Amino acid sequence: MSDWRKMSKDELERQFSPSRWSHRMSADDVIRAHVAAVRSGTEKARSITQTLLDVPYGDGDGEKLDVYVPSSSSPDVPLVIYFHGGYWQFLSKDESGFLAVPLVQKGVVVVAVGYSIAPKGNMDLMVSQVRRSVVSVIQQYSHISGLYLCGHSAGAHLAAMVLSTDWTQYDISPQIKGAFLVSGIYDLQPILSTYVNEPLKMTEEVALRNSPSHFLSQLKISSASCDIIVAVAQNDSPEFRKQSEEYFKALESAGLKVSFEDVPNTDHFNIIEQLVDENYYLTKLLLKMMGKS
């Protein structure tokens, strides 16, 4: 596998343009289809699920979350927090409830977190926001049986940063039972010179301090008992696949409970879109992780 440092700018851009690797449709079409899928899935979830929308977890404009609540009033329900993708510059919590239907039906609370995407927000702020969202959720839902994280793409990066938090700076130390990291980026350095960084404006210093691959020792302290699944699409780009493979191997070498899922017949987008389907492999895996299969 070639080193990203030896790649031309054009090749780096291609490697970190997930839409150019789908076998289903053109780059523009796959993005349009993805937005339509997550939006319609979220509309469906909001129409058939009990919801609490725009719940503040901080004082900032973008610091709100949506809660999708099961109708059964079991005292100890698992709760999964979802962090959306969109390269830290697209999408929002308003397209992030699509995975709720099959989970809520099984008695799982789903929380979709909003954060201040670029250019309004920067990487340090987004990481701070998702960490504070987790603290807020724990404070509001202290009765849950287990806290789980799920993130896609940029959201998988943010979930990994949550796992790597030094909680001594917060009022609370969340016990995260499981994390589902789907097609994520765990080292931000390769994207510094690409189009992705134009609205983010990250320096190398910012990229390093927000790269989960550099915080394995902190993750081991904060999330030692967390069950982690690193999932990647068959048709993710070689560099995206490499990011997941290397992060998985690093977690495994650190002695953490981690497994790797290479999901066949998927690309960067439908690997997560299909969580609307209760029979989809990753939906079943997520439910199994929460003891709800």
Q: Which residues are catalytic?
A: 153, 236, 268
CB 149 within 8 A of CB 83: yes
Amino acid at 28: D
Q: What string of DSSP letters covers 80-117?
A: EEEE--STTTS--GGG--TTHHHHHTTT-EEEEEP---
Indicate the helix (H) or strand (E) that contains 32. helix 27-48
Tokens describing residue 271: 């690997």
Q: What's the order of all strands across the beta sheet hosting 176-182?
A: 50-56, 64-69, 109-113, 78-83, 146-152, 176-182, 227-233, 257-263
Q: How far apart are the first and last CA of the chain?
A: 37
3-state SS, 152-176, equals ECHHHHHHHHHHCCCHHHCCCCCCE
Q: 14: alpha, beta or left, given left = phi > 0 and alpha = psi -120 to 50? A: alpha
Q: How far is CA 277 from CA 2, 24, 268, 270, in A?
A: 36, 19, 17, 11
Radius of gyration of the chain (CA): 18
Q: What are the E-state strand segments in the chain?
A: 50-56, 64-69, 78-83, 109-113, 146-152, 176-182, 227-233, 257-263
Look up tokens 């690409």; give the residue.
194
